[in-house]
Amino acid sequence: MDLMTIAPKSIPGSAASIKADPIVLDPLAEDCLHDDAAIITTRRAITRVALVAVETGSRFQREGIEYDPMSWMLAPRRLFNGRAAIDACLEREHCLRSILVHGLSLGLDLAPTAVDTLLSEDDEDKRRRSRQHMSSKRKAGKKYYRSGNLPLAAPRLFTATIIYSNRKLMLQAFHASIAHEPSEISARLCERFGHSAANVADIREGFHQSTPVAMALVQEPVAELIRRVAPEADHPLHNDFAVTIEQRIDV
């Protein structure tokens, strides 16, 4: 679905538009059917913009940035090829870029190619893990066939990230704990967040701090603790180790 911008004639996609003044429409004023541009979009896309707005405000407050988060959302930026975040972040690609920029504190604007490199590395990591998982399943199947038993895997550190929204809730969550299999993590997430949110969880073996949700929610002291526990996950002292960090907005 094509998404119209708030002021499509005022913010062209050229580099020159980056220097243009932000277009500010008074949100408290009455709607003007003749002058206000209509936007055809989806609830998911609106949720993306809301997510970016929350991340922007949280980062500016956390780092004490003397800049208005609203201005950042409305000003044209190189990161979005000359568009404003309020327009561009309706799209998944730009939403991910924003989360990564704020999660890693990469500045207030930069070339999109720099962020895309980080995102492509994360995608390649997912593909590599998928290949390893399929290979492990094949090996496990052969072992099961030979012995008639499927041995229980050793305890390992698993982490999970969730980005979920419905009509009443916007949720970002990070979870880390020790388990034998990913299914145990899924069960814990179901108990904590419900089946719908748990079903969209990205569950991984190990700690992957470069994922957007982990960067946004996990502070360095907590990350360091998780990194220390990971190589000793099979130690009895860590059986009950668990970290859950969530950011939710009830709507």
> What pLDDT sits at residue 203?
94
Contact indicator for 45, 165 with CB cutoff of 8 Å: no
> What pLDDT sits at residue 192?
92
pLDDT along the chain (251 residues), means of 10: 36 39 74 81 91 90 87 92 93 89 82 76 52 49 46 84 89 93 94 92 92 87 89 88 88 70
> What pLDDT sits at residue 10?
36
pLDDT in tens, 197-250: 999 999 999 999 888 889 888 888 888 889 999 999 988 888 889 999 998 887
Domains of the chain: which residue ranges? 15-110, 153-250
d(CA 186, CA 183): 5
Residue 140: both structure tokens together? 């496990």
The percentage of residues in the chain with a pLDDT greater than 90, rounded to a whole number, is 35
The number of angstroms, rounded, from the C-alpha of 146 to the middle of its chain's C-alpha atoms is 42
> What pLDDT sits at residue 128?
52
Task: Return mean pLDDT, the chain.
Answer: 79
Instruction: Work out the burial of residue 165: count CB atoms within 10 Å of its CB; fewer than 13 is exposed, 13-18 middle, 19 or more buried.
Output: buried
